Every structure is written in C-alpha cells, then in structure tokens.
Structure 1
Amino acid sequence: MRVETRLFGEIDIAEEKIITLGRGLIGYPDMKRFTLIFDEEKQGKIMWLQSLDEPQFAMPVVDPAGICADYNPTVNDELLTPLGQFSEESLFVLVTIRVPSDITRMTINLKGPIIINTDNLRGEQIIVEDEVQTRFPIYDILKSRKEKAGE
C-alpha cells in the first residue's frame, strides 16, 4: 500500500505492518488504520503513529518503559477484549507525545496509552484506572539520557 504523507512523503506500507485500532484514537474515531514509522535520528526512541486513513495525520509516540521504568498501568480486562488472544509478552504499549512550541515543555500522556497486540496488530487506546499524569514532562529525561549516551 502506497501512502503520500505530510511528514515522510510517499511511503510503501506492507499489509503485515498495518495496525488496526478498533475504536480509533481518542478524539479521532474514524482513523483506525496506522503504521509505526521509526525516527532514525532518535535511534528508535521516538516513533510516529502514521494514519493510513488520513495520511496528513501522524502523531509522535514512545514506549513509556524507556522513560518511566515503573509505569505499569492498571487496565480493565474488558477494555483489552478487542485485542483478541494475547500474552503479556505480545503487548506493546505506546504513549503519545505532546510537543509544544517550547520543546522544553514536551510531555507524554500516561493516562491514555495505546496498547497493541503484536501477534495480530490489533490495538486500542484506553484510559487507565491509575492516577497518572496526562502531561508527564519528559524533556529533561530525554536530554539527560542523550548526554549520558554521548550524543
């Protein structure tokens, strides 16, 4: 499948790389088909959730485990039913990144993770039951890690 995107130009997406979010993203229920595009400059830390239904839409996402090692959201099992059969190991969790004009105020949304079953690429964005931040600051964390890595 070929898609003309706003950020990445024309890209070719293999059918087996298409992620289906059954209810779409919160606020974007009609966008259900996505793919992940890895930002090579960020060495895979930041990815883009690229919509295939609305090619002009792409949202930065990140695996929260690389930022908040203790992030382990409580999820109502009923919310995961649309993912089909899965094991804990087959679940991939992403959180959205908010990048304002002042990049030092960059945050992630820990309250609304996107959970993907890597066995069948079905996913859902859900609201977790835990008291966690919708705007968890990450700029200093990313900057510190970059400095430690000598980048």
Structure 2
Amino acid sequence: MKLTTRIFGEIDIEDSKIIEFPKGIIGFPDMTQFALMHDKDKDTNNIRWLQSLDDPVFAMPVMDPLYVKPDFNPVVPEENIKDILPLEDEDLLVLVTVTVPQDITKMTVNLKGPIIINSGNCKACQIIIDDDDYPVKYPIYDYLQKQKELAQG
C-alpha cells in the first residue's frame, strides 16, 4: 500500500505490517488501520509514530512506557483485550501516546490509555486503565534529559 503522509512523505507499507484496531482508537473510532513507523533521520528508537492508513495526515507519537516508567505494569482484564486475542507474551507490545506541547519541558505520556498490540495477529486496541497510579499526563521531560545525560557519559 502506498501512502503520502504528513510526517514521512510517500511511503510503501507492506500488508503484513498493517495493524488493525477493530474498534479504532479513543476519539477516532473510524481509524482502524495503522502502521508503526520510526524516523531514521532523528536516530531515536524511543519515540515512534502510529501512522493512520485511513487518514494519512494523522500520526501519533508513541513510546514504550517502560522507558519512562520502569514499573509500569497495570492489571488489564481479559475482557478489555478480547478483540485482539489470542495473545502470547512474546507477541505483546505496549505503547503509550506522547504529547509534545510547544513548551517541550511539559512533554507527557498517557499512562491511563495504553495501546496494546498483538504482533502475532497484527491486531491492537487502546484501553483505559482503571488505576489512579497511571495518569493521563505523566511528565517525562526531566526523565528523558537524565537518560540522555547518562547515555552521553
């Protein structure tokens, strides 16, 4: 599938790389097909993009929640992920959306609404975690800066 996107320009997505969200994502129930992208030019594996194939203008920055909150381990009832089952541990990929406002120091991730991807069957869903330990706006800028400093030695 060829697609002209706002962020990546013209791209070619293999059918095997298409991730289906049977019920769409929160706020966008009609968007059901996505591809997970990363920007090779930026040379960072931390932030990737969930690129909509239904609306090429729409892409959300996402990242692994364990990178910014190593103890992220919410309890998720099987009922919440029934549309993407069966799910083996090795096929589980959890991502959270990243919000980057104009003031980059206020960058946050949404720990309350993670995206669960089953890489085995290329199905995914976004769920709501019913736990106050996981806020919608979890600040990450200071943590990312510390990680960057540690990496630079």
- Contact 1:39/1:45 (CA < 8 Å) preserved in 2? no
Q: Where does 1:90-109 land on structure 2 (aligned, <5 Å)?
A: 90-109=91-110
- C-alpha distance after superposition, 1:39-89 (max 9, x if no partner): 332421100000000000001000001111100011111011111211222
Gaps in structure 1 of 5+ consecutive residues: none
- Contact 1:37/1:50 (CA < 8 Å) preserved in 2? yes
Identity of aligned residues (%): 50
Considering only aligned residues, what root-mean-square deviation do their CA atoms show, in Å?
Answer: 1.1
Q: Where does 1:1-150 land on structure 2 (aligned, <5 Å)?
A: 1-40=1-40, 41-131=42-132, 132-150=134-152
Q: How many residues align?
A: 151
Gaps in structure 2 of 5+ consecutive residues: none
Give me the whole-angstrom Cα distance separating, in 2, the residues matched to 1:112 and 1:75.
11
Moved over 6 A (4+): none
TM-score when normalising by structure 1: 0.96
- Contact 1:24/1:124 (CA < 8 Å) preserved in 2? yes
TM-score when normalising by structure 2: 0.95
Letter in 1 for 2:21: L
- C-alpha distance after superposition, 1:89-135 (max 9, x if no partner): 21100000011110000000000000000101100000012211100
Give me the whole-angstrom Cα distance separating, in 2, the residues matched to 1:116 and 1:25.
12
